[in-house]
Chain A
């Protein structure tokens, strides 16, 4: 089944403790992207990748890192999480450009 998977789905952590949210797609898509969704703000793009080893900043990249070492995986890294990074995070992939994005189920992160 074609899908985008994210792990974990729920995470509660403390300020400053490094964490990684994984994202994997099995559709051989070129593009991948990370978003955060906050009430009243919609989805805001954090980082995106157009291919292996090619990444670029979205609108809200501060406090986040990404890597794209393989086509299928695009992990989101929070080196030192802070409470303002409490949010719902979505990963998405797209075959070429933003033609049609396939979204993962979301990861709800709480930083205390």
Chain B
């Protein structure tokens, strides 16, 4: 069965530190990949997505992610985090078919120390 793993459950960083959150998926075929963010008390919103093309994807608020097909990974990165990046981050995958379901990871809580 298709699955998504986010191994970091809670990450604590200081402001200006670099960030990398891991995401691995199990499906071997063509996939669409997403990162969503949930700021405290707010709706989930899309950070970035990968459908095809350049495997390095840039999203909002300075985030980027790199799709490495050989590693089944789609890690999220940011060179320098801010206190306002405190949130929960979810990776999601669906098979390359608009008719298929979408699978979310268990989420990574990011806490930034001011």
Residues of chain A whose beta carbon lies under 8 Å from any beta carbon of chain B: 31, 33, 35, 40-45, 48, 50, 56-59, 90, 92, 96-106
Task: Give chain A residues whose Cβ lies under 8 Å from the Cβ of B8.
Answer: none
A33 CB to nearest B CB, Å: 7
What are 10 A-B contacts defined by CB distance under 8 Å? A44-B104, A45-B101, A50-B98, A56-B99, A59-B101, A90-B44, A97-B94, A98-B94, A98-B98, A99-B49
Contact B44 A103 (CB under 8 A): yes
Contact B34 A98 (CB under 8 A): yes
Complex Cα–Cα for A41 and B104 (A)? 9
Complex Cα–Cα for A41 and B88 (A)? 13
Complex Cα–Cα for A96 and B105 (A)? 22
B5 CB to nearest A CB, Å: 10
Complex Cα–Cα for A42 and B98 (A)? 22
Task: Give chain A residues whose Cβ lies under 8 Å from the Cβ of B106.
Answer: 40-42
The 7 closest A-B pairs by CB, nearest first: A97-B98, A42-B106, A43-B104, A103-B44, A42-B107, A103-B43, A42-B104
Task: Tell me whether B45 is interfacial, beta carbon within 8 Å.
Answer: yes
Task: Give chain B residues whose Cβ lies under 8 Å from the Cβ of A106.
Answer: 43
Contact A58 B98 (CB under 8 A): no
Task: Tell me whether B46 is interfacial, beta carbon within 8 Å.
Answer: yes
Task: Give chain B residues whose Cβ lies under 8 Å from the Cβ of A35.
Answer: 104
Task: Give chain B residues whose Cβ lies under 8 Å from the Cβ of A48.
Answer: 101-102
Task: Give chain B residues whose Cβ lies under 8 Å from the Cβ of A44.
Answer: 104
Contact B9 A40 (CB under 8 A): yes
Given contacts A43-B107, A101-B36, 20 further A-B contacts (CB under 8 A): A31-B98, A33-B102, A42-B106, A43-B90, A45-B102, A45-B103, A48-B102, A50-B98, A56-B101, A58-B101, A90-B44, A97-B32, A97-B98, A98-B102, A100-B49, A101-B44, A101-B46, A103-B44, A103-B45, A105-B43
